[in-house]
Structure 1
Amino acid sequence: MYKKIIYLLLVLILFQVGGALAAITVSRVEPANWWTGMKKSEFQILVYGPGIGKSKVTLNYPGVSLREAATVENPNYLFLYVNVGKNAKAGNLPITFSNGGEKFVYSYPLKNRTDKSGALGFDASDVLYLITPDRFANGNPSNDNLDSVLINRNSPNARHGGDYQGVSEKLDYIKDLGMTTVWLNPIQENRMRGGSYHGYAITDFYQSDPRFGSNEEFRELTKSTHDKGMKMVMDMVLNHCGSSHWWMKDLPSKDWINNNGVFLQTNHATVSVMDVHAAESERNTFLNGWFTRGMPDLNQRNPHLATYLIENSIWWIEYARIDGIRQDTYSYMDFDFLARWNKEVYDEYPQFNIVGETWYNKKTSPAWWQGNSALSNKNSNLKTPMDFSLTFAMQKAFDGKADNGYLGDLFEDIAQDFVYADPYNVMTFLDNHDLGRFSRKEDEDLKRYKQGLAFLLTMRGIPQIYYGTEVLMTGTKEDGDGKLRVDFPGGWKEDKVDQFSKTGRSEIQNEAWTYLQKLLQWRKTNLAVTKGKMIHYAPKNGIYVYGRIKDDARVIVIINSSLKEQNVPMDRFSDIIGVFTKGKDVLSGKVIELDKQISISAKGEYILELGK
């Protein structure tokens, strides 16, 4: 009898343990919520938990249906494809997971689309101010340190402590300077061992990096930016993730990461995707290779991952109401995925804009990537590629010491704009967080600085200016990326110099700041520059002349690259001048008669608004 009792107790214990082991648990759900009233009715929910893929899933909610509960290699994942009808109301969707006798109900939030602000896109009427958040301003020191990664401002590659609050506190400064749009380098979680201050090794696509602040704080920063009449652009990375991303310990499938999750260094052969002579092995190494060991390469050909990434972008737009996206390492990704990503974002937000990092030496390659390109047999749907070719030409063209400079090369680069489907919708820039700074230590005056900015801000395209340009920050690529992204003096309470204020800047810095501010504030009001077509003339005697025209609004720009003052006969430029007889110099306020020669100083520039 005693043995039977022991036996029954053991059976009961095993039964209870088995039941406990079979209990359904959900460890992660992404995205955390969705919305009613989206133009695309279907969305994906990633569900992660021990053995969750073995569960049967049901959903019972008015106007909402479950099209598919897709399983993958790893039984710890489920991908739910949910359809939200037009008449569905906000509420908590009861998603039931059952497995044998076990049952678990997850309440999934479906919200109303109450915020209709933002998502405005950006165009040639805007100027983007590019900020590396960790290096701009530290408004909240309490979020500096995390996971034993401490800030160290003495190390160019460590975390320095900049955050959302710091940016928020400087929004008035940015607006006063004349910028219309704030572009932040990636702000999603980078919980990497080294700190990953730059933001390009994302470890959670749905969470803000806590060192910058919470999701809610980012949303508030975007709202504050909108309240001040500016826009917000978010830097995104869909090519790769960080090696410490939560899914790297338990991948959904072998093909989630390119090369079956095994490190393969990319060859960076960016032209191979459009090169008709490219060896297939070289193209595959480029597309499937990893950027670094710390940045595993995502396989956008996996249909569940592709949908996940597209939906993540849409979630951030809807959640934070950002106005645009700059997509990192654009050409490293699958073309068909990118075309679909662009289309689905634009379908949901028609005014939105995406700029792709198309880093090439020749402009034919970024032109190939632009939507409706005659150079490609497929439509990428990308509105705005980055014009690196013009950047490299500008870095050579403006030289304060060389006679005549390289304005001929600059002219020829612009003359090749016929390769673009839309040359007015490309991003232009003198430098950025990956390039040597336009300002150089050896520059003794502002002649190069002034000519470069005058050209950038009157040329066709959408200009971007890197933070610190206004105070003459310097740094070369040879110094290392960390020194291209230095702290803005005055962004930390302990800083002895505050270059956000006039009193903290040197005389030459204030001259540079005021020059840029005058150009930026004027540019906002001039339709010829922001909306007009461009006409230019081949450089002659070191003089480059071009014009911008929008109806009766006309601007003519004259740049002298020679080391001597010159007289410029104006009759050659009748296509721009037309019936106008006078030009007011935007920079000096001087009114100049156009029916005679114009004298322009050595290494000087004129930006003339035409009048009668």
Structure 2
Amino acid sequence: MKLNIHILLVLFISISVSCKKASNPTTTTEIVSNVKREIERVEPPNWWIGFKNQQLQLLVKHPNISEAEPSIHYSGVSIAKVHKADSPNYLFLDLHIAENTKAGQFNIHFKYKDGKELVQTYSLKDREQEAAKYQGFNSSDAIYLITPDRFANGDSSNDINENLKEKTINRKEDYARHGGDLQGIIQHLDYIEQMGFTQIWPCPLLTNDMQESSYHGYAMTDFYQVDPRYGTLNEYKELASKAKEKNIGLIMDQVANHCGNAHWWMQDLPFKNWINQQESFENNKPLNNSNHRRTSNQDLYASKRDKKEMAEGWFVSAMPDLNQRNPFMANYIIQNSIWWVETLNLSGIRQDTYPYPDKTFMSNWARAIMNEYPNFSIVGEEWSTNPLLIGYWQEGQKNKDGYQSHLKSTMDFAMQKNIVDAFNEEEKWDAGLVKTYEGLANDFAYASPKDIMIFPDNHDMSRIFTQLKGDVPNTKMALSYVLALPRIPQIYYGTEILMNDFKKPGDHGLIRSDFPGGWQDDAVNAFTGEGLTNTQKDMQLFLKKILNYRKSSAAIHHGKTIHFAPFLGTYFLFRVTEEETFVHIINKNEQPISIDLKRYAEIGLNGKTLKNIVTNETFVWEDEIILNQRGSLLLTTKI
């Protein structure tokens, strides 16, 4: 598109700059022959053409960069505004990327009054796939949650990095680094696929340059860098692409609420309100941690003090609380999320500590992502056993305060607790099972129950085998029930082989123990089965059969759910489509019991043959069924 001189002049004059106008002719394109990297840091490190949102805000970090005047000479790219920060070492550049802009490289020139000039080459890339092809996860999926440092060590050469603060490997210490990495996950994708999982959710893989306990990843010190002890960005991409070849999606664990106190910007914060309680931090005054009163987000009567302490308190003292009310921080977080979606072709994001950041920002964050990727999935962590709080955050919920979320999925801590309580209930008959029955009956509180993530355990709580006191039949019933519900199920690595934390229940380091066989000198190998006990092998096979059946079960994916109140220590749940009826029976009786099947006549199964998906045995649904032992029974009309 050609512009006459008058229009160019008007455009030039209208550009808004914090303290001075920026020179930015855009009608000619500067040819970049040599890539230049003269600026300390520019983030995002690259971008793409073809987004609905044509605005991009660059964070530029360099000594005294605020004294420089930036300019760009690339057709379709213009500087709309230049913002100076409170620190002289930052500039924030608002770029406009026109719809017809071509992918390529261009230089950003930073010219000082004394004639000195710094140049940074920047790249705009073509997108690898159309937005519609970014397919999220749903109730047809099963997610495998992995703590990367504890899963498998595929490349021992990256175990220690001398440039990072924690320099040791010690597998005997629960809170030390153990050496698991990206290659370890890549090398065992066959195992994950064969088990029947269709999505992988690794805990954060970005740089966590903390003095200790850096293995968990949630105190990030660089939001654009893969932790070199896990591998490289190319290896992260390799994981995504090789998983995709096996029809396995990749979910990224992100944190919008906080960073680690060793984050690179903590030594030179851009603005006076970049983090919450910044004045106290900079003056070495006491800091307040969050009161963790998450109900203040919904409470009609909550005091301003409680809301402030919840939103602005630090999660823990080592994790500075990011101030998303600062518009530059808000843009930074949103663009970072989109950068990773595009870089890795993600299928979803799991957002840590979802209720802790500014809730208006979280709505804007989710909306910005879903605007670019309409088929994408985001799940937020709301650790509450109150369904009202869980449902509050889900898109489509009609909240009394008018809050509108754009979050597809939340995490069902409420049902998780009901399941554990139900199977730990020592009273006879139906007292325990009623808790699961009534828990599922609470689905009327959710805008879309099938889009909520259910799980028996995760990286922050005791293993399900521990929670259920080492009872194998109860663990099987809990797991099979999770996989039968109208939900998106997530299974934590090692659950399939009854990993536990009996030695110190609830200890995070122990919960995140090494997966047997992930290290060359392991005596037990859960990937091959070598050294596993018969009980472990049986549980692994049990889950494998259910997960693989689940892949193709339309009834479990989207069937109508009908359940009957617990009766004589049993609980029947049905998932029904025209083509298939799936039956899940829980039996808590120690002795054989006969159940009258006429009680369930409305399902229409009389005279039909059903198959046991675990044993492949068939069974004709007639007048009664004899349940011989405590456990679960999974039946399908799909023979």
- SS of structure 2 residue aligned to 1:208: coil
Which of residues 394, 398, 409 in structure 1 aligns to 2:419? Answer: 394
Q: How does 1:42-121 map to 2 (within 5 A)?
A: 42-100=55-113, 101-115=115-129, 119-121=134-136
Offset at 1:39?
2.3
User: Contact conserved, 1:580 with 1:611, CA < 8 A, in 2?
Assistant: no
Gaps of 5+ in 2: 1-36, 282-286
Question: Who is 1:259 aligned against?
Answer: 277
Distance 1:445 1:557 in 2: 20
Bigger mean CA deviation after superposition, 108-117 or 221-230: 108-117
Offset at 1:575?
3.1
Say whether residues 1:160 and 2:185 are aligned partners.
no
Question: Who is 2:154 aligned against?
Answer: 139
Distance 1:305 1:149 in 2: 31
Bigger mean CA deviation after superposition, 39-48 or 309-318: 39-48
User: Contact conserved, 2:134 with 2:347, CA < 8 A, in 1?
Assistant: yes
User: Contact conserved, 1:266 with 1:291, CA < 8 A, in 2?
Assistant: yes
Q: How does 1:491-506 map to 2 (within 5 A)?
A: 491-506=518-533
Q: How does 1:334-353 map to 2 (within 5 A)?
A: 334-353=358-377
Code of the residue aligned with 1:360 in structure 2: it is S
User: Contact conserved, 1:400 with 1:603, CA < 8 A, in 2?
Assistant: no
Distance 1:105 1:363 in 2: 54
1:475-494: per-residue Cα shift (whole Å, max 9, x none)? 16745100000001111112
Code of the residue aligned with 1:333 in structure 2: it is P
Bigger mean CA deviation after superposition, 198-207 or 474-483: 474-483
Question: Who is 2:332 aligned against?
Answer: 308
Compared CA separation, residues 252 and 281, structure 1 to 2 (3 A): same
1:293-350: per-residue Cα shift (whole Å, max 9, x none)? 2100001111010010000000001111111110000010111111111111111111
Offset at 1:218?
0.4
- SS of structure 1 residue aligned to 2:594: strand
Bigger mean CA deviation after superposition, 548-557 or 320-329: 548-557
Distance 1:170 1:504 in 2: 18
Bigger mean CA deviation after superposition, 558-567 or 126-135: 558-567
Distance 2:471 2:362 in 1: 44
Offset at 1:183?
0.6
Distance 2:100 2:300 in 1: 50
Offset at 1:271?
1.3
Say whether residues 1:459 and 2:477 are aligned partners.
no
Code of the residue aligned with 1:375 in structure 2: it is N
Distance 1:39 1:441 in 2: 47
Gaps of 5+ in 1: 1-23
Say whether residues 1:537 and 2:564 are aligned partners.
yes
Which of residues 626, 633, 639 in structure 2 aligns to 1:599? Answer: 626
Offset at 1:583?
2.1
Distance 2:498 2:393 in 1: 33
User: Contact conserved, 1:432 with 1:465, CA < 8 A, in 2?
Assistant: yes
Offset at 1:441?
9.1
Question: Who is 2:404 aligned against?
Answer: 379
- SS of structure 1 residue aligned to 2:633: strand
Offset at 1:550?
2.1
Q: How does 1:107-256 map to 2 (within 5 A)?
A: 107-115=121-129, 119-146=134-161, 147=164, 149-256=167-274
Bigger mean CA deviation after superposition, 355-364 or 118-127: 118-127
Distance 1:258 1:432 in 2: 29
Code of the residue aligned with 2:593 in structure 1: it is Q
Distance 1:165 1:426 in 2: 30
- SS of structure 2 residue aligned to 1:145: coil
- SS of structure 1 residue aligned to 2:340: helix
Code of the residue aligned with 1:93 in structure 2: it is F
Question: Who is 1:409 aligned against?
Answer: 435
Code of the residue aligned with 1:127 in structure 2: it is A
User: Contact conserved, 1:149 with 1:195, CA < 8 A, in 2?
Assistant: no
Question: Who is 2:355 aligned against?
Answer: 331
User: Contact conserved, 2:144 with 2:197, CA < 8 A, in 1?
Assistant: yes
* TM-score scaled by length of structure 1: 0.93
Distance 1:576 1:64 in 2: 62
Which of residues 404, 413, 421 in structure 1 aligns to 2:447? Answer: 421
Offset at 1:435?
0.7
Question: Who is 1:3 aligned against?
Answer: none
Distance 2:564 2:301 in 1: 36
User: Contact conserved, 1:560 with 1:601, CA < 8 A, in 2?
Assistant: no
Which of residues 37, 43, 51 in structure 2 aligns to 1:30? Answer: 43
Aligned residue pairs total 589
Question: Who is 1:574 aligned against?
Answer: 601
Offset at 1:525?
1.2
User: Contact conserved, 2:81 with 2:94, CA < 8 A, in 1?
Assistant: yes
Compared CA separation, residues 517 and 80, structure 1 to 2 (3 A): same
Q: How does 1:431-450 map to 2 (within 5 A)?
A: 431-440=457-466, 446-450=472-476
Distance 2:265 2:560 in 1: 49
Distance 1:232 1:333 in 2: 24
Bigger mean CA deviation after superposition, 578-587 or 554-563: 578-587
Which of residues 512, 519, 523 in structure 1 aligns to 2:550? Answer: 523
Question: Who is 2:317 aligned against?
Answer: 293
User: Contact conserved, 2:200 with 2:251, CA < 8 A, in 1?
Assistant: yes
Identity of counterpart residues, as a percentage? Answer: 40
Distance 1:501 1:131 in 2: 18
